[in-house]
Amino acid sequence: FGKPVLRGLKVVVSAGPTYEDIDPVRFIGNRSSGRMGFAVAEAAAQAGAEVTLVAGPVSLATPQGVGRRVDVRSAAQMRDAVVDATAGADIYIAAAAVGDYRPAQVADHKLKKHDGAALELSLAENPDILATLAAQTVRPFLVGFAAETHDVERYARDKLKRKGLDMIAANQVGGGLGFEAADNALTLYGPEGAIELPRASKTELAHQLVARIAERYQAVRG
Ligand code: C5P
């Protein structure tokens, strides 16, 4: 811990869920607590990076050392904030659980119940933030997360390739790990193979992850 392995580097971290509004009082969200991403932002700051944290709707205090925090709600807002923050950044770590879909229309009045009738919501696909960054000619070193309930390795390797990432941190959700849990366990995949980071607190894992990202970053961009 505490080695300035990211000194002089600009790092952007996204964290938390996104909320996609249905009407003024309802939304579609997910169970991400934001804790993994906040721990990563803190670890990156402790490693000497200049950190911007783009946070979805979470109730977490900004970690010490994080220079800038941008709070957003929806995936579209998160995309705009991340694109803005990553201009000139060296590393982007996408720990946010971005909603895949949003209601195609946001009602401006509270939707009313019609007894007995089913309600159909039409959903539109959200922008993929990582893929947006991967498509840029000048792009930061890109680290994604893959939280899966099954077939973790297959989906993680697929996302690494499909989204054009430099590294992906995969974890199994459930069994006291992952979403809403204090602990996590990660497997890192990159072009160079797999690295296991066994079960530990999110704080401990965040430090290990940051150390691995720094190593890999130095190898390809340093
Ligand atoms: O949701 P999915 O499992 O595909 O997420 C994998 C990675 O892609 C995560 O790092 C997540 O933050 C990112 N992502 C994104 N934009 C989306 C969906 C996911 O950047 N619309």
Per-residue pLDDT reduced to its tens digit, 9-54 = 999 999 999 999 999 999 999 999 999 999 999 999 999 999 999 9
Residue 3 marked in a binding site = no
Pick the catalytic residue: 30, 126, 171, 184? 30
Question: Residue 2: what pLDDT?
Answer: 65
Is the C-beta atom of 28 inside 6 A of ligand 1?
no
Tokens 């990156």 correspond to what residue?
A: 44
Question: Residue 49: what pLDDT?
Answer: 98
Q: Closest ligand 1 atom to the C-alpha of 148?
A: 3
C-alpha–C-alpha distance, residues 134 and 163, integer Å: 7
Question: Residue 76: what pLDDT?
Answer: 98
Is the C-beta atom of 37 inside 6 A of ligand 1?
no
The Cα-based distances of 104 to 42, 80, 101, 122, 153 in angstroms read 36, 19, 9, 6, 32
- In the chain, the largest separation of any two C-alpha atoms, in whole Å, equals 63
Residue 91 marked in a binding site = no
Amino acid, res. 41: A
- Ranges under pLDDT 50 in the chain: none
pTM of the model: 0.95
Nearest to 212 by CA among 152, 150, 159, 167: 167
Is the C-beta atom of 159 inside 6 A of ligand 1?
yes
DSSP 177: B
Question: Residue 5: what pLDDT?
Answer: 95
Please tell me the residue having the least CA distance from ligand 1 atom 6: 146
The Cα-based distances of 66 to 40, 52, 63, 145 in angstroms read 10, 7, 6, 20
CATH class held by domain 10-101+121-221: alpha beta
Question: Residue 66: what pLDDT?
Answer: 98
Residue 110 marked in a binding site = yes
C-alpha–C-alpha distance, residues 42 and 62, integer Å: 9
- Indicate the burial class of 192 (C-beta count within 10 angstroms; 0-12, 13-18, 19 or more): exposed
Estimate to the nearest angstrom the gap between the alpha carbon of 82 and the chain centroid. Answer: 11
Question: Residue 114: what pLDDT?
Answer: 86
202-221 and 35-46 helices, crossing angle to 10° = 60
171 in active site: no
Q: Closest ligand 1 atom to the C-alpha of 145?
A: 10
- Spacing, Cα 163 to ligand 1 middle (Å): 9
